[in-house]
Amino acid sequence: MHNPSKVTSPMAQPRRPRLALPAGSCDSHVHVYGPASRFPFDPHRPYTPEDAPVEQLEALHRWLGLERAVYVQATVHGFDNAAILDAIARNPSQARGIALVHTDISGAALQNLHAAGVRGVRFNFIKHLGDAPDPQAVLRLAERIGAMGWHVQLHFGAQDLLDQLPLLHRLQCPFAIDHMGRTPVAGGLAQEACIALLDVLADPRAWIKLSGPERISATLAHGGAFPYADVVPFARQLLAAAPDRTVWGTDWPHPNVREMPDDGDLVDLLAHYGDVAMLDGVLVRNPARLYGFD
């Protein structure tokens, strides 16, 4: 059996952000882990986290001023989506989910997930999280879920994005790319992956998540004028390309990061991305459209 490594835990008490978020703001990318006693981890998981239950996340969202959440199924739970379905059921009008499923999942199972608040499926192309999915199987499933009003969520590294451009062009449903495409700041705004991502975002089906600045920053949190300041031009470039198809998330509890970010810093970083109208779009209007909030 694989012996997964440990990852660090999120900050027990992040600082309260200075930025006041608009009513109905959505954290469009969070995970819940366990508790393992109730929702066991997959025996073939790529890493082993500490429990990060929904109650802990709800307290964080109250502290930060967030009212809605999109629960993204974690690889540590494999294809058993019970933990995110439980989280959604606690506040179904304000929560949605992105599931991990087998590409040959039955239509009935998809309908059950839809009724429970799921609005998309995620595919990981990051090598340390396991084998990349079969593109043909992804395309077949995308056509099925597109008919349900769902989208595909894609987790790429910068090189993965370049390698999978043919897949993106052939997808028959909307798709969202995680973590700003994980294009490293050190490569500059004109790096091949950034240019390709802008080309992708010209497609009206394409969405981007302004999440994971700690993953692409060239500095640690205290290495600039403010935490992850070097990410701001990257976020602004993406926003300019697709202002109506951009959402934001904390990526709590921040799996597999080189340093644990302060979620208060992540909220305040939004103030550097644009004005009040931008914030209302990224945090309220856009996620309401993508995830089907009333």
264 neighbors 226 (Cβ within 8 angstroms)? no
The whole-angstrom separation of Cα 129 and Cα 6 is 14
283 neighbors 277 (Cβ within 8 angstroms)? no
The whole-angstrom separation of Cα 270 and Cα 188 is 20
Helix (H) or strand (E) holding 235: helix 232-241
Check if 251 is active-site. Answer: yes
The whole-angstrom separation of Cα 48 and Cα 111 is 30
27 neighbors 96 (Cβ within 8 angstroms)? no
Catalytic residue, from 27, 160, 178, 251: name it: 251
The whole-angstrom separation of Cα 263 and Cα 14 is 6
DSSP 8-state class, residue 47: E
The whole-angstrom separation of Cα 54 and Cα 46 is 21
Name the residues annotated as catalytic.
251
